[in-house]
Amino acid sequence: MLRLARSAAFTARVARPVRLTRGLASLAEKYYPNEPTVPVIKTELPGPENKKAIEKLSKVFDTRAAYYVADYYKSNGNYIVDVDGNTFLDVYAQISSIALGYNNPALIEAAKSDQNINAIVNRPALGNFPSSDYADILAEGLLAGAPPGLDKVWTDLSGSGANETAYKAAFMYKRAKERGYNTPFSEEEIASSMVNSSPGSPQMSILSFETAFHGRLFGSLSTTRSKPIHKLDIPAFDWPTAPFPKLKYPLEENVEANAAEEKRCLEQVEKTIKSWHNPVAAVVVEPIQSEGGDNHASPAFFKGLQEITKRNDVLFIVDEVQTGVGATGKFWAHEHWNLPTPPDIMTFSKKAQAAGYYFSNPELTPNQPYRQFNTWCGDPSKAIVARTIFQEIIKNDLVAQTAKVGDYMYGKLEALATKYPKDITNLRGKNKGTFIAWDAESPAARDQFLKDCRANGLNIGGCGARGIRLRPALVFEKKHTDLFISIVEKVLSK
């Protein structure tokens, strides 16, 4: 029954025709009748209230990475307001984590609902005492938006937790394949696991890519290779890495070189899987490496990668923590690849607000209870929020809208790149919704650009060494795009 519900919702999502931009624009106006029409910068940045607020907070909490202290009560739609009343058009959206804009009325209703209040006040240990409505909450939400072919879900609390529990599932699966799914553990395994030694704690590994980002706890950080500052001083597992394609732009002028680069990387992946001293249980990959610089690869690359994992009997884990939930113009970015079979595991967090992983193979559920387990096993309140986000996206065709808006935005940026070829290089993300990025001339130029944008009322983020990434919410429209482009041009023209 749950499967049917999910399939029906999913079919509806796929089959529904794309509405016209006009219809979509009125939706955003419905959501946000009082959305500002332009950014307003009233003070120098940071303003006096910000300075006070940072000083106060910094006594008890690390604020050195703070752009500013935000007033979320006044933030609205695509606009974020700081405590000085400065109003920014937001194309960063809490590091890609706001799907429907600030103070979305549907989300407010969901948050206020008796069901959500109940879930907060009586937060269950879902593994031992699941709540009576959790099956429906999942079916109507997280599973209604599940990627094609993946019909089960494990809920966790963060992107790091989602990836780490996925890795745990992969290790247990891989050892079960070797041992037999229902074969009991040996005495030696049992004893050695308690002292962190092989064979009970096997010397196995997860292969990740150079410049990947998969989180910052110990297992996920061992697969993160984005920047030294993420990794320095933290012990890590002896796990392998392979090169991620470094594509040349524009793509249409570099077809052969890019194909050769992807081939080189794939060969290296397979060579590493075959030769790494700690056997590889899974390969984890982002559809677009985000923190690491918005690095793209072609569908052919990912298809080839999946073939390699199948050929070598390792699992294929797609990390959609940042790429998922509509921003690329598909609900899940890996849908762009048209894989012949689904990935083994796909992880999510951020815009879903809930976190976890999807899977299908029943053998990815370990052979005994309490193996994939913790006190909370997720959070029904976040699953309720996810349900509304997914339902609003599906009901209002926000993925299709984002695809259109992204195409429009990309075209405008392409034109700007012609005008400012030094400042906008390696423009990327064509046909990937609003998941667009480019490179500045240098890290310093990038940092200055971001700062200048903020001074002009645009909240925007970087990635990699000199990348600028766009991560607006799914309610970002043509009119916001025009404003965004005008600010970028204003900054670049100086």
Examine residue 8 and tell whether it contacts a copy of itself (CB under 8 A).
no
Query: Where in 268-390 does DSSP place strands (E)?
Result: 280-285, 315-319, 345-348, 355-359
Selected binder of a copy of itself within 39, 46, 147, 159 (CB under 8 A):
159
Selected binder of a copy of itself within 41, 157, 339, 386 (CB under 8 A):
157
Beta bridge partners of 461: 469
Tell me the C-alpha to C-alpha distance, in Å, between residue 53 and each of 43, 59, 63, 95, 220.
Answer: 15, 10, 10, 21, 33
Beta bridge partners of 459: 90
| Contact stretch for a copy of itself (CB under 8 A) within 232-240, 259-267, 407-415, 419-427 | 232-240
Examine residue 451 and tell whether it contacts a copy of itself (CB under 8 A).
no
Examine residue 391 and tell whether it contacts a copy of itself (CB under 8 A).
no
| Contact stretch for a copy of itself (CB under 8 A) within 38-46, 149-157, 340-348, 408-416 | 149-157
Selected binder of a copy of itself within 276, 373, 408, 420 (CB under 8 A):
373
In angstroms, what is the minimal distance from the CB of 129 to a copy of itself?
5
Dihedral sign of CA atoms 323, 328, 333, 337 in order: negative
| Contact stretch for a copy of itself (CB under 8 A) within 30-38, 228-236, 334-342, 484-492 | 228-236
In angstroms, what is the minimal distance from the CB of 87 to a copy of itself?
14
Examine residue 347 and tell whether it contacts a copy of itself (CB under 8 A).
no
Q: What gap in Å lies between CA 315 and CA 346, rounded to an integer?
A: 11
Q: What gap in Å lies between CA 121 and CA 476, rounded to an integer?
A: 34
Examine residue 91 and tell whether it contacts a copy of itself (CB under 8 A).
no
Total residues contacting a copy of itself by CB under 8 A comes to 127
In angstroms, what is the minimal distance from the CB of 191 to a copy of itself?
8
Q: Which residues are catalytic?
A: 213, 319, 350, 375
| Contact stretch for a copy of itself (CB under 8 A) within 29-37, 38-46, 98-106, 425-433 | 98-106
What spatial distance separates the first Cα and last Cα of the chain, rounded to whole Å?
Answer: 60
Site string for a copy of itself, 19-58 (x = CB under 8 A): ----------------------------------x--xx-
Locus of tokens 């009322």:
457
Question: By CB under 8 A, what part of segment 276-315 binds a copy of itself?
Answer: 278
Examine residue 116 and tell whether it contacts a copy of itself (CB under 8 A).
yes
Selected binder of a copy of itself within 134, 244, 316, 357 (CB under 8 A):
134
Angle (nearest 5°) at CA 69 between 65 and 73? 140
In angstroms, what is the minimal distance from the CB of 75 to a copy of itself?
6
In angstroms, what is the minimal distance from the CB of 349 to a copy of itself?
8
Q: Quick one: how far is CA 332 from the chain centroid?
A: 9
In angstroms, what is the minimal distance from the CB of 242 to a copy of itself?
12
Phi, psi of 204 (to 5 degrees): -110, 175
Examine residue 120 and tell whether it contacts a copy of itself (CB under 8 A).
yes
Residue whose C-alpha is closest to residue 368's, from 183, 165, 113: 183
Examine residue 402 and tell whether it contacts a copy of itself (CB under 8 A).
no
In angstroms, what is the minimal distance from the CB of 188 to a copy of itself?
11
CB atoms within 10 A of CB 361: 14
Token pair belonging to 423: 């400042």
Q: Which is nearer to a copy of itself, 70 or 440 (CB)?
A: 70
Examine residue 10 and tell whether it contacts a copy of itself (CB under 8 A).
no
Beta bridge partners of 438: 468
CB atoms within 10 A of CB 437: 24
Selected binder of a copy of itself within 121, 182, 252, 275 (CB under 8 A):
121
Q: Which is nearer to a copy of itself, 165 or 402 (CB)?
A: 165
Examine residue 234 and tell whether it contacts a copy of itself (CB under 8 A).
yes
Q: In what order do the strands lie in the sheet with 345-348?
A: 152-156, 355-359, 345-348, 315-319, 280-285, 205-209, 241-242
Examine residue 346 and tell whether it contacts a copy of itself (CB under 8 A).
no
Q: Which is nearer to a copy of itself, 21 or 103 (CB)?
A: 103
The DSSP call for residue 244 is P
Q: Which is nearer to a copy of itself, 39 or 304 (CB)?
A: 39
Q: What gap in Å lies between CA 148 and CA 336, rounded to an integer?
A: 12
Contact between 466 and 426 under an 8 Å Cβ cutoff? The reply is: no
Class of residue 49 by CB neighbours under 10 A (exposed 0-12, middle 13-18, buried 19+): middle
Q: What gap in Å lies between CA 180 and CA 163, rounded to an integer?
A: 25
* 48 three-class SS: helix
Site string for a copy of itself, 174-213 (x = CB under 8 A): -xx--------x---xx--xxxxx--xxxxxx----x---
